[in-house]
Amino acid sequence: MISWIILIAFTIGIALIVVPQALSVKFKRRLRVPSTKTKRKQLLQDMYASAVAKEQNRKSNYKIARKLKTAGYPFGMQVFHYQMLRLVLPVAIAILLLFLYTVKNSMNGYSAPFPFLPFIAVVLGAYFVPPLMLSMIARRRREVIAEEIVKFSHRLIVCITDKIPLYYAVRRAGRTCKILKPYVDDLLIDWMDNPRAAINNFGEQIGINEVLPLTNTLLASWNAPQEKILNLFDAQVRNIDTMRDFQVKKKIEASPLRVTFVIMIPFAVAGILCMLPWYISFQEVIRQVF
């Protein structure tokens, strides 16, 4: 009986020593696996962030970066994503067309001649679609920002006429803005530390030429008397109106080229339709020969 009690006590003692050690080993292994995965994930994130920053700061991509900035970084797209899109989109379109060509041949039961010219045209078109879309988005957003800058300047003049200090005039004038609202909020936050640096940063963030008269006026008037501020903003609004009139005249002068391009499209379509029978007969000859 005593031997059984000693054996049970010995077993319990061994269990009290071994079980915690075994559980601790398993617990450490469980912690080690997520830690390794976290390190790998962090390494991939660092490599990705480094590639994005390197492509963003490359001098050869300055124009693309500026255009993306003017467009408001659509879908959060940086220069790296834009370049990848230009590379991946034509490849994806080419693979899709080859897949459709293979499916069509399998459904018809015979191998049709491959349409090289349409294939090349579609793939090249896919390569040039991203820059065209980016230019369109940037141009439209630039026009909207220019209109908001004019409205913002007029509201500033109204607020300053009511003898409101410049900081509070900027805050009141920015309430009705849409695209300019986040830039104005950052301007007001940074204004408390350094007004000149805040105004310069405001102009750099917007990044279009139409904001230069506004930033120059703010730099000249942030600590000027009330009467001088009003005169400066009147001159600034006149400068913006002159700049916008010049842009409108430039568009009017360039409109004949656009009209000519639009007129050429029906002629190009007619030429393609005239060449279509020759292309079909050429395919028939190639099919009979081979």
Q: Over 90: is that where the pLDDT of 133 sits?
A: yes
Has residue 84 been placed in a domain?
no
Has residue 150 been placed in a domain?
yes
Has residue 260 been placed in a domain?
no
**Distance between CA 247 and CA 249 in Å, rounded?**
5
pLDDT digits 0-9 by tens, 62-71: 888 888 888 8
Provide mean pLDDT across the span 257-280: 73
Q: Over 90: is that where the pLDDT of 137 sits?
A: yes
Q: Does 146 lie in the same domain as 244?
A: yes
Q: For residue 84, which phi and psi values (nearest 5 degrees)?
A: -65, -40
pLDDT of 26? 47
Domain extent at residue 32: 21-53
Provide mean pLDDT across the span 87-101: 88
Provide mean pLDDT across the span 189-194: 89
| Residue listed under structure tokens 């007029």 | 154
Provide mean pLDDT across the span 155-184: 86
Q: Does 145 lie in the same domain as 250?
A: yes
pLDDT of 131? 92
Q: How many domains does the chain have?
A: 2
Has residue 159 been placed in a domain?
yes
Of 32-36, 141-145, 259-263, which gets the smallest average pLDDT? Answer: 32-36
Is the pTM value of this prediction over 0.75? no
pLDDT of 16? 62
**Distance between CA 6 and CA 290 in Å, rounded?**
96
**Distance between CA 197 and CA 67 in Å, rounded?**
24
Sequence-distant (6+) residues with CB within 8 A of 78 are 52, 55, 56, 68
Q: Over 50: is that where the pLDDT of 29 sits?
A: no
The percent of residues above 90 in pLDDT, for the chain, comes to 9
Has residue 93 been placed in a domain?
no
Provide mean pLDDT across the span 260-282: 74
Provide mean pLDDT across the span 37-49: 75
